[in-house]
Structure 1
Amino acid sequence: MTILGALGGDAAARAVTDTVAEAVAALRPAAGRDWSGVRAGQVEWDCLHTAEHMVSDLFAYATQLATRAPAAYRPVEYTLDPPGTGAEGALEAIEAGGVMLALACRTAPRAARGFHPYPFRSAGREGFAAMGMAEVLLHTHDMAQGLDVAFRPSAELCGYVLARLFPHVRQGDDPWRTLLWATGRGELPGEEPVDGWRWYNNPLVEAERLTLEALTVPAAADLALGGDGGFDWVSGGPFEGTREGASLITAAYEKGAFRPEWGSYVLVRREDDRAVGSMGFHGPPDEEGRVEIGYDLAVAARGKGYATEALRALAGWALARDGVSVVTARVDPANAASRHVLERGGFRQAGHVDGAGGVLVFERRGD
């Protein structure tokens, strides 16, 4: 499994810069040709239009992130200017777009988000970086096919894009080949062809004082290896349950069985952007629409209502999803504090796991 280990704005900026550099280096040998007369691989555009699309995406993502666009794309269009700009100008514009997106990633606060429509209406600096990287990698591939030049980007860059935007896809031994397959551009042994596809940015669930941020695969991998996952934790964190949940995410990802909505969420206090614990699901809903939830809160953050607040928000979010009818939780009978959290969160005792005296089962049902 190939995942860029470093997290944060500087790492995201470097990844964007490296991606653009590899793309421009591959396309430059064809800069003397008329790109407007060559179709870009399987897409319907010519190579010059495809390059302009790449430029537009890079600048647009930078704008969305830098301005914290809240609910829509900013009303601005990015095109090659003047009309008639050729291949050399297009390469210069791609480099400029890469610089702007890298700068936005490097300077944006960790919690900054900007609008992006799919699938959860926003992205942060690492999400916009990965989307920009994907656009450059994939459309450079398209152009390279049309221009008959070689292009094979580094495994680290492809692995990061897969882990960040395609967490439901098993990466395999060749991340580039997997990325091409996942976006309908190639074949993968043992897998059906991909006709339609979307990428994933991690969901957020807002509570009164907290933002619940779904762990991405790169963040989970960092936590599982002893890092902080890119979060600023209160004293004592990250915690044992958080690291265990992160390990489950990376294990599921390696098997191609991870479902991004149904992993772990880090509880981030909005007033100071510090992580106070985690809460998440033990897996996706079963055939009966049941999903189990668990949580882990810092000792220093207990007694402030954070667990109850987060539980209400995340359970409500889950019950609003298609196919979910009940959220369950297990608790030791001796853990009175956890029982009270569940009760205040709208859960009711529904039995025992192993008969009377065993682990208690609580559940909250949808309307």
Structure 2
Amino acid sequence: MRDMSGEHVQAAVASCVALLRTAADRDWTAQRAGRLEWDCHATAFHIAEDLIAYAANLAGRAQNDYVPFDITLDEGTDNEGLLHVIETTGALLTATVRTTPREVRAFHPYPFRSANREGFAAMGVAEVLLHTHDIAEGLGLVYEPPAELPKFVLTTIFPHVQRESDDHWGTLLWATGRGDLPGRAPVTEWRWRNNLVIPTDRLTLQGVTPAAAADLSAGGDGGFTWVGGGPFEGTREAAGMVLNAYETGVHRPEFGLFVLVRKEDGRAVGGMGFHGVPDEDGRAEVGYDLVEAARGHGYASEALSALSEWALARDDVQLLCATVEAGNLPSQGVASRAGYVRATAQEAGEGEGEEGGGEDGALQLYVRGGPQQAA
């Protein structure tokens, strides 16, 4: 999957400036920007502030807060000058996204306190599109960005939002409290969601966005560089599950798919994740696989331990389950080393006095977090 993040930032800024330039001779301070409290001039300047702030955090590898600086306009700067500032700050974010390695993450407060280059690009595009819409509304202009831009935003940082058919722009406006969709309640509070990353000693577990899931399920690389040339089939199947959940509006990114990326060289070695959200009893099922060239190094056990500890620290998870084929001894070993044990008959839903083994003994159920482990 070719990374188009920089191109998307560039296209968003171009669409913004092209529209606003048609009204550069008007007084932007006299008109409120759509539903915002700001006037159109302040909103346009805010676009530039966001673009430079994202570029600075990503370029400066900020880890704990925003880089501490502000930009100001020279006294007497007119609307045309302000548009030049938007173009310039947009070019800086575009260049930063294009030149930043994929594995770099920098500070952003919501929701997991970091984002990669794709996340910063998507946030920048979102700010440009949405605030251009606000300004256009205030000035009585009509604005609709290129269709691929709201799609990029939705599939990257709004994984929890079900799109309305192919109307990505209408869906994004609704999801950010700027529009209505038939059959859906108005949105009054909203946040975007950058992907979750869970570190281990040798790996990072990188949450897969709907955009990456679509590419993986179609046979692509999902934007990752894989050991051995590509993921194992189980990872592609899991990506298809993520995509289906997203398209039906039930996807929760914390309980989706993670790609296991080796810290030493940035190469992906496998996939791991959940088969869905926890049920009403707090039970969730996990699955995992590795590419053949990465097996035998303990990566799966290391990753499963970290993912399990993260999940069981949540209030909504009480028990984790892994279903393993009876003859798959390596996979059973992965579960055991990650703190899982063979399930009791009660946990497996079988008869009294039996050990959890699944249908016809072909599958075995391993659990972590159950009562027998707390005893």
After TM superposition, the score normalised by the length of structure 1 is 0.95
Q: Select which of 247, 255, 263 maps to 2:248.
A: 255
Partner SS state of residue 361, structure 2: coil
Partner SS state of residue 267, structure 1: strand
Partner SS state of residue 141, structure 2: coil
The letter for the 2-side match of 1:249 is: V
Q: What CA deviation, in whole Å up to 9, does each residue of 1:25-78 have, x standing for no partner?
A: 111111011211211011000111111111010000011111111111111112
Q: Select which of 264, 268, 274 maps to 2:267.
A: 274
Q: Does 1:147 align with 2:139?
A: yes
Q: What aligned pairs does 1:173-188 form with structure 2 within 5 A after superposition?
A: 173-188=166-181
162-171 or 136-145, which deviates more: 162-171
Aligned to 2:116: 124
Q: Select which of 211, 214, 223 maps to 2:207.
A: 214
Aligned to 1:289: 282
Partner SS state of residue 201, structure 1: coil
Partner SS state of residue 44, structure 2: helix
Q: What CA deviation, in whole Å up to 9, does each residue of 1:134-157 have, x standing for no partner?
A: 000000000001111111112111
289-298 or 232-241, which deviates more: 232-241
Paired residues of 2:196 and 2:206 also in contact (CA < 8 A): yes
Deviation at 1:87, TM superposition (A): 1.2
236-245 or 58-67, which deviates more: 236-245
Paired residues of 1:48 and 1:86 also in contact (CA < 8 A): no
Question: Which whole-Å CA distance do the structure 1 matches of 2:216 and 2:336 have between them?
Answer: 30
Question: Which whole-Å CA distance do the structure 2 matches of 1:155 and 1:287 have between them?
Answer: 39
- Computing the radius of gyration from Cα coordinates, the structure with the larger value is 2
The letter for the 1-side match of 2:135 is: M
Question: Which whole-Å CA distance do the structure 2 matches of 1:285 and 1:207 have between them?
Answer: 23
Q: Gapped runs of 5+ residues in structure 1?
A: 1-5
Paired residues of 2:358 and 2:365 also in contact (CA < 8 A): no
Q: Which has the higher contact order (CA 8 A, sep 6+)?
A: 1
Aligned to 1:364: 368
Q: What CA deviation, in whole Å up to 9, does each residue of 1:253-278 have, x standing for no partner?
A: 11112111111100000000000111
Partner SS state of residue 269, structure 2: strand
Paired residues of 1:34 and 1:86 also in contact (CA < 8 A): no
The count of residues paired between Structure 1 and Structure 2 equals 359
Aligned to 1:229: 222
Overall identity of the aligned pairs, in %: 56
Question: Which whole-Å CA distance do the structure 2 matches of 1:220 and 1:295 have between them?
Answer: 16
Question: Which whole-Å CA distance do the structure 1 matches of 2:67 and 2:313 have between them?
Answer: 30
Deviation at 1:299, TM superposition (A): 1.5
Aligned to 2:349: none
Question: Which whole-Å CA distance do the structure 1 matches of 2:357 and 2:71 have between them?
Answer: 59
Question: Which whole-Å CA distance do the structure 2 matches of 1:341 and 1:112 have between them?
Answer: 29
Q: Does 1:332 align with 2:363?
A: no
Aligned to 2:153: 161
Q: Select which of 273, 292, 300 maps to 1:299.
A: 292
Aligned to 1:95: 87
Partner SS state of residue 292, structure 1: strand
Question: Which whole-Å CA distance do the structure 1 matches of 2:328 and 2:99 have between them?
Answer: 44
Question: Which whole-Å CA distance do the structure 2 matches of 1:216 and 1:233 have between them?
Answer: 17
Q: Does 1:83 align with 2:75?
A: yes
228-237 or 55-64, which deviates more: 228-237
The letter for the 2-side match of 1:357 is: G
State the Cα RMSD in Å.
1.3
Q: Gapped runs of 5+ residues in structure 2?
A: 345-355
Question: Which whole-Å CA distance do the structure 1 matches of 2:293 and 2:320 have between them?
Answer: 27
243-252 or 190-199, which deviates more: 243-252
Partner SS state of residue 119, structure 1: coil
145-154 or 351-360, which deviates more: 351-360
Deviation at 1:355, TM superposition (A): 5.7
Paired residues of 2:231 and 2:290 also in contact (CA < 8 A): no
Q: Does 1:136 align with 2:131?
A: no
Deviation at 1:97, TM superposition (A): 1.1
Paired residues of 2:217 and 2:237 also in contact (CA < 8 A): yes
Q: What CA deviation, in whole Å up to 9, does each residue of 1:321-349 have, x standing for no partner?
A: 23111111011121111111111101111
Partner SS state of residue 99, structure 1: helix
After TM superposition, the score normalised by the length of structure 2 is 0.93
Q: What CA deviation, in whole Å up to 9, does each residue of 1:271-321 have, x standing for no partner?
A: 000001111100111111011101011222111111110010001111112
Aligned to 1:3: none
